[in-house]
């Protein structure tokens, strides 16, 4: 929402009910900073039980974390941040909270690279925390050390583990009630996993793991022995492997052997069943033919890429319904969108379309697309943008009326000047779309800014990856024509140079103030971004 609306709602809705608020969620650094400036955390929020901070700037707002200890009923805390130089500051604050039971910390860029120190006294430990989820740190040593702060932990979830091997000190105490572990994207060899499970697995009832190291599929017997020796209480085993195809002269034979190994009485008695498929290329191994081997009851990964992943020539034993359980996002090559496509994806809400769709019959293309997806369910779309055949884009957008976020990849060969008659027709066609957030990758010519305004009349946030040389002109053009973009309240520019951020911000402020384009606004430089909010 706009800055003025945010301040009005904070005063009219939050202030009268501070001592009745049970759950609070704040998103974006601007929102968080403005909110806690107006409403510092103190005993006025004496009933607050759940707090979610999305995109917290931890390095600048450590005081917010330190103030959370004043909340007598804060049971649940979720923090999402992009960049953090001192990750341990977050955990120190969490472990000091008096009644906290659930904590989830996600950070996409960790500055701290050294193991956290082991807890040496009960004053450092949390005696209430039962669930801890975090994205990294990637070092296994840090995970061991963090567990020393949580003696009553019941559930642990870690997103990425890529770091070095490490054996904890003798005084390390495993949480006695640790019954559930989720390990997403374990990148170490199987032996490292076996050592970790030998230390923490004695009480485990639930284990979910996605592993990318090829030693994970040496044979099924190693998993069987690991479970029998170190996880005797295990009831739920959800397994997912992504990695290079096992090298063998006869792929069919090797895959059949692998499936047979994981179909012995040991697995069948526990109702643990597995399937597999193959694909050309993978996020970690883009040039190789890869294997996905997974528990059948495990929901597949967040995003499916439909290109040649349904190639039955690789292996005749692969799971024929592998792609049906993907979601909610699919990346699909436009050349695959043909009549009588053999699969449907009714649950997909996020769609990435790659390759040009300008040289095809757009009506047939949309018709074929509607047989694969429920177009009215699509709320997120990534697509190439080329105004040479702008009407094709307009027709496609009209069939997806509920898109909230749109990512456009501007074609380098695109001539961005648009004939005025086509521009007028475009406005008539798409004025009812509901797009609120627009992201543009590639250089955006100044002449296209007015077109963007007309295409998306409800646009609230615009993200552009233009360089500094055109940034001032783009901001001036967007803010000077507020009639066609009356809903717009946020601009984000990628690619700004950290070394020149102060000078650029000063230029923007001078231009905005001298030309009286905005009355009340905030502007700041974040990681690779320059953000303006009003």
Domain membership of residue 322 (yes or no) is no
Counting the structural domains of the chain, the total is: 2
Is pLDDT of 529 > 70?
Answer: yes
Q: Which range in 140-144, 152-156, 301-305, 381-385 is most confidently predicted, on average pLDDT?
A: 152-156
pLDDT per residue as tens digits for the range 476-522: 888 887 776 789 999 998 865 556 678 889 999 999 999 999 988 99
Q: Which range in 7-11, 34-38, 148-152 is most confidently predicted, on average pLDDT?
A: 148-152
The mean predicted confidence, pLDDT, of the chain is 82
Is pLDDT of 327 > 80?
Answer: no
Are residues 383 and 248 part of one domain? no
| Residue 427 pLDDT | 53
Is pLDDT of 375 > 90?
Answer: yes
- The rounded distance, in Å, linking the Cα atoms of 313 and 303 is 23
Domain membership of residue 425 (yes or no) is yes
Residue 90 in contact with residue 65, Cβ under 8 Å?
A: yes
Which three-class secondary structure state does DSSP give residue 390? helix
Q: Which range in 102-111, 392-401, 479-488 is most confidently predicted, on average pLDDT?
A: 392-401
DSSP for 216-239, written as a single string: GGS-HHHHHHHHHHH-TT--EEEE
Are residues 383 and 452 part of one domain? yes
Domain membership of residue 316 (yes or no) is no
pLDDT per residue as tens digits for the range 223-272: 999 999 999 999 999 999 988 765 555 667 778 888 899 999 999 999 99
Which three-class secondary structure state does DSSP give residue 308? coil
Domain membership of residue 10 (yes or no) is no
In the beta sheet, which residues pair with residue 110?
84
- The rounded distance, in Å, linking the Cα atoms of 300 and 348 is 13
Q: Taking the model in full, what pTM does it have?
A: 0.82
Domain membership of residue 53 (yes or no) is yes
Are residues 333 and 372 part of one domain? yes
Lookup: tokens for 33: 């900073």
CATH number at residue 70: 3.80.10
Domain membership of residue 131 (yes or no) is yes
Which three-class secondary structure state does DSSP give residue 60? coil
Cβ neighbours of 287 (radius 10 Å): 9
Is pLDDT of 59 > 70?
Answer: no
- The rounded distance, in Å, linking the Cα atoms of 422 and 453 is 15
Is pLDDT of 132 > 90?
Answer: yes
Is pLDDT of 317 > 80?
Answer: no
Cβ neighbours of 36 (radius 10 Å): 16
Domain membership of residue 2 (yes or no) is no
Are residues 345 and 267 part of one domain? no
- Structural domain ending residue among the three candidates 244, 271, 306: 306
Are residues 383 and 299 part of one domain? no
Are residues 258 and 390 part of one domain? no
Are residues 477 and 345 part of one domain? yes
Are residues 344 and 209 part of one domain? no
Q: Is 341 exposed, middle or buried (0-12, 13-18, 19+ CB in 10 A)?
A: middle
DSSP state of 82: E
Which residue range forms the structural domain that includes residue 393? 329-533
Are residues 371 and 266 part of one domain? no
Is pLDDT of 359 > 70?
Answer: no
- The rounded distance, in Å, linking the Cα atoms of 506 and 513 is 11
pLDDT per residue as tens digits for the range 203-229: 999 999 999 888 898 889 999 999 999
| Residue 309 pLDDT | 46
Mean pLDDT, residues 461-489 taken together: 83
**31-45, 252-266, 351-365, 502-516, range with the lowest pLDDT:** 351-365
**What is the tally of helices (H) and strands (E) in the chain?**
15, 21
| Residue 416 pLDDT | 47
Higher pLDDT, 405 or 481: 405
pLDDT per residue as tens digits for the range 168-202: 555 667 888 999 999 988 888 999 999 999 999 99
Residue 84 in contact with residue 55, Cβ under 8 Å?
A: no
How sure is the predictor about 310, in pLDDT bands with cuts at 50, 70 and 90?
very low
Q: Which range in 106-110, 270-274, 299-303, 412-416 is most confidently predicted, on average pLDDT?
A: 270-274
What are all long-range contacts of 62-66, with beta carbons under 8 Å and residues at least 24 apart?
62/89, 64/32, 64/36, 65/89, 65/90, 65/93, 66/93
Are residues 253 and 139 part of one domain? yes
How sure is the predictor about 419, in pLDDT bands with cuts at 50, 70 and 90?
very low
SS3 sequence, 378-421? CCEEEEEECHHHHHHHHHHHHCCCCCCEEEEEECCCCCCCCCHH
Residue 147 in contact with residue 169, Cβ under 8 Å?
A: no
| Residue 280 pLDDT | 61
Are residues 354 and 283 part of one domain? no
Mean pLDDT, residues 111-124 taken together: 74
The phi and psi torsions of 501 (rounded to 5 degrees) equal: -65, -40
- The rounded distance, in Å, linking the Cα atoms of 426 and 419 is 11
Domain membership of residue 148 (yes or no) is yes
Residue 130 in contact with residue 154, Cβ under 8 Å?
A: yes
Residue 41 in contact with residue 18, Cβ under 8 Å?
A: no
| Residue 137 pLDDT | 61
Are residues 282 and 165 part of one domain? yes
Higher pLDDT, 521 or 112: 521
| Residue 289 pLDDT | 67
- Residue 444: which of 418, 485, 412 has the closest Cα? 412
């Amino acid at each position: 929402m706009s800055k003025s609306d945010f301040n009005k709602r904070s005063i009219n809705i939050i202030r009268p009910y501070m001592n009745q608020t049970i759950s609070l969620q704040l998103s974006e650094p601007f929102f968080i900073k403005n909110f806690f400036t107006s409403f510092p955390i103190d005993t006025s929020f004496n009933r607050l039980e759940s707090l979610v901070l999305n995109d917290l700037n931890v390095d600048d707002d450590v005081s917010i974390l330190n103030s959370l200890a004043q909340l007598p009923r804060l049971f649940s805390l979720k923090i999402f941040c992009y960049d953090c130089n001192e990750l341990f500051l977050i955990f120190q604050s969490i472990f000091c909270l008096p009644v906290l039971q659930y904590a989830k910390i996600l950070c996409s860029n960790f500055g701290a690279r050294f193991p956290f120190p082991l807890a040496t006294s009960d004053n450092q430990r949390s005696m209430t925390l039962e669930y801890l989820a975090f994205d990294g740190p990637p070092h296994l040593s840090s995970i061991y050390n963090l567990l020393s702060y949580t003696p009553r932990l019941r559930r642990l979830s870690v997103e990425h583990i890529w770091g070095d091997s490490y054996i904890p000190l003798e005084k390390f105490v495993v949480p006695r009630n640790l019954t559930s572990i989720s390990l997403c994207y374990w990148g170490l060899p199987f032996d490292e996993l076996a050592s970790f499970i030998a230390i923490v697995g004695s009480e485990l009832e639930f284990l979910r793991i996605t592993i990318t190291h090829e030693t994970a599929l040496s044979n099924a017997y190693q998993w069987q022995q690991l479970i029998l020796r170190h996880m005797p209480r295990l009831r739920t085993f959800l397994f997912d492997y992504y990695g290079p195809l096992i090298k063998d002269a006869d792929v069919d034979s090797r895959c059949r052997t692998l499936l047979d190994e994981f179909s012995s009485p040991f697995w069948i008695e526990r109702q643990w069943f597995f399937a597999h498929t193959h694909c050309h290329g993978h996020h970690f191994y883009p040039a190789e033919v890869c294997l996905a081997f997974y528990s059948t009851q495990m929901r597949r990964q967040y995003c499916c890429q439909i290109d040649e992943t349904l190639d039955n020539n690789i292996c005749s034993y692969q799971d024929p319904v592998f792609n049906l359980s993907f979601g909610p996002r699919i990346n699909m090559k436009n050349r695959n969108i043909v009549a009588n496509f053999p699969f449907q994806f009714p649950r997909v809400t996020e769609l990435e379309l790659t390759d040009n769709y300008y040289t095809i019959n757009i009506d047939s293309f949309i018709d074929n697309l509607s047989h694969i997806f429920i177009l009215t369910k699509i709320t997120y779309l990534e697509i190439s943008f080329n105004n040479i055949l702008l009407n094709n884009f307009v027709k496609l957008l009209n069939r997806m009326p509920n898109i909230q976020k749109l990512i456009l990849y501007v074609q380098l060969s695109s001539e961005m000047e648009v004939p005025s008659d086509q521009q007028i027709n475009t406005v008539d066609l798409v004025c009812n779309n509901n797009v609120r957030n627009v992201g543009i990758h590639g250089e955006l010519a100044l002449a296209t800014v007015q077109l963007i305004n007309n295409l998306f009349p409800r646009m609230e946030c615009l993200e552009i990856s233009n360089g500094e040389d055109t940034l001032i002109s783009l901001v001036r053009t967007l803010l000077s024509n507020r009639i066609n973009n009356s809903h717009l309240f946020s601009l984000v520019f990628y690619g700004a140079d950290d070394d020149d951020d102060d000078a650029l911000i000063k230029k923007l402020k001078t231009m905005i103030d001298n030309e009286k384009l905005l009355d009340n606004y905030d502007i700041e430089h974040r990681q690779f971004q320059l953000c303006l909010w009003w």
